[in-house]
Structure formats: C-alpha cells, structure tokens
Amino acid sequence: SYVLTQPPSVSLAPGKTARITCGGNNIGSKSVHWYQQKPGQAPVVVIYYDSDRPSGIPERFSGSNSGNTATLTISRVEAGDEADYYCQVWDSSSDHRVFGTGTKVTVL
C-alpha cells in the first residue's frame, strides 16, 4: 500500500516560515491535499490539488509538489497556526485515499 511520511513535529517562532514535508514514492505524479486539525476539532482543508487554496484560507498557506516530496509552506507563522497537519492523496492503484502520518506544528 502507498505510504506517506511526514516529520512528527515542527517548532518555530512567530513570524518564521514553516515547511512541512510529505514524502511518498513519485508523489509528484499525484494530487496532494493538506488538512489542518486543531485540538478537539474536525480537520479543515487548507490546500488542495497541490497548491490551490480554498476561500477563507490565508495566502500565507501555500503548497508545492514534485518528485518524491510535497511541501506545505506556512509563511509568517502565527500562534493560531498551531495544529496538526496531514497530507493526503488518492492512490489510483488501490483506489484508496491515503493520509500522511501527520505533523504537529508548535509556535514557540
């Protein structure tokens, strides 16, 4: 089955740039979606189709995808960005949706 690997945690000071990676075999050939989940809440999509942003999501959130790594970038990180972030793809070979292992972003 297809596996997506994320770093368990990222810690940074306010105003810095967070880069959260999502590794998978030839992930660049797939569409990647990113979800933000705050404690006790349902996930919210922050980036879809590699780099598209839903309405209401700040421009500080951006995404890229190439080769074996997709990246979610959060510019000028704020305290309100503290959350768990998950990448997700559709694995066409199994017709399954697959989530990454998740990354906890902590704003110091």
Partner 1 sequence: QVQLVQSGAEVKKPGASVKVSCKASGYTFTDYYMHWVRQAPGQGLEWMGWINPNSGGRKYAQKFQDWVTMTSDTSISTAYMELSRLRSDDTAVYYCATEGNKMELQVWGQGTMVTVSS
Match 């997700």 to its residue by tokens: 88
Of 13, 26, 42, 55, which one interacts with partner 1 (CB under 8 A)? 42
Mark the segment that binds partner 1 (CB under 8 A) among 21-29, 65-73, 74-82, 84-92: 84-92
Provide the token pair at 38: 């705050």
Establish if 93 lies at the interface with partner 1 (CB under 8 A): no
Applying the rule CB under 8 A, the residues between 45 and 74 that interact with partner 1 are 45, 48-49, 52, 54
Q: Residue 34: phi, psi to the nearest 5?
A: -125, 140
Contact in structure between 24 and 5 (CB atoms under 8 Å): yes
How far is it, in rounded angstroms, from Cα 97 to Cα 84? 19
> Of 46 and 74, which has the nearer Cβ to partner 1?
46
Indicate the DSSP class of residue 97. E
How far is it, in rounded angstroms, from Cα 77 to Cα 107? 7
Provide the token pair at 24: 């998978």
Of 33, 63, 71, 81, which one interacts with partner 1 (CB under 8 A)? 33
Of 53, 70, 83, 86, which one interacts with partner 1 (CB under 8 A)? 86
- What residue ranges bind partner 1 (CB under 8 A)? 1, 31, 33, 35, 37, 42-45, 48-49, 52, 54, 84, 86, 88, 90, 94-102
